[in-house]
Structure 1
Amino acid sequence: MHSQEPPWLPYQGWPNAPTWEAYCILTSYEDTRLLLEGCKADADSIRAWLEEEARRFVAAQPVARGIAALLQDWATDPARRIDWSRVAAALQGEGADCSLTSLEAATVEALRSVGLELPTDSLTSLPLWWENLASRWAERSELRRQPSALGVLAQHIIDSYLQAVDWHRLAKALRGE
């Protein structure tokens, strides 16, 4: 049994960071702005559209640049959601893995699968290590096509962000309300 994920906190006047990031990034790219203008601007339609685009991105299928930018940002930014000291302890065989959140447990599994020696200063190096690995995975479609623990972790992170989005608030903002 894993610990519960910490709740998302309000961010920049929005319900949480994933909602704010989705709005800012998707409206910053002309290709996604145009796609959103053609989309029925209700919460369920936007959610279904973005979840399908995320599935396509993870499967290394073509997606709009704004979608790729958003999902790359989400995949490489778990630092706010991970207690790296617990991940480092689990990687070094200290402490009980059951105290990890599901995201932290997936991080441990992914980093173990990489088979690299841990950095000596793991608390500062692990987040940077993940960011580097996740960036390569997110930017290179050939890596996303290959099944890997890193891909599973990136998918877990993207899914956690998708689940956190306040779809009604996002839809209202996209309608200019």
Structure 2
Amino acid sequence: MDWYSTVFELIDMRSFSNLWFWIALAVAWSSASHWVLGVPYDLVLRARRVGGQAERDLEDITRVNVNRVLYVARVSGPWLMGIGTFLLSSLGILGFFYGVEFAQAVFLLGLPMSGVAALNTATARRIERDQAHGPLLYKRLARCRVYTQMIGMASIFVTALWGMYQNLSLGAF
């Protein structure tokens, strides 16, 4: 038996029956819900509870990240939207029309993450528009986190259903 076939027997390269895919999916959604607009959510909780320096730190890091997100959206937004749409469309066609399982897996991760990116951009615009600070800033970041978690739960549910369907229909036990 050669090395190549031994490795591919040990590590299943199909996406939905691969433990590494599910670990990557969990890490991606855990990170997306913890880092709201690039701000760690524990900093939001600490600023709300303690105030003072923690609140100033939160407002500073939020201001920097809001400016960064909005700069990218204003300068490269149409290009990123076009490229992202092209990639997601290509993955969708490859995955669901031609049956490429890896493309299905990346599509089921990328489509909801693009929704989270749009949510983050909209939240950044609201924070900038309202010049949010203090309790209003906490509210905006908390709401963005809850919506991100809702998108993540729906995404994980749909991905799990599709993955189970794929594994049962292809007999990958």
* TM-score bracket relative to the smaller structure: under 0.3
User: Which structure ranks higher in relative contact order (CA pairs < 8 Å, sequence separation ≥ 6)?
Assistant: 1
TM-score (norm. length: structure 1):
0.27
- More helix, by proportion: 2
Larger Rg: 2
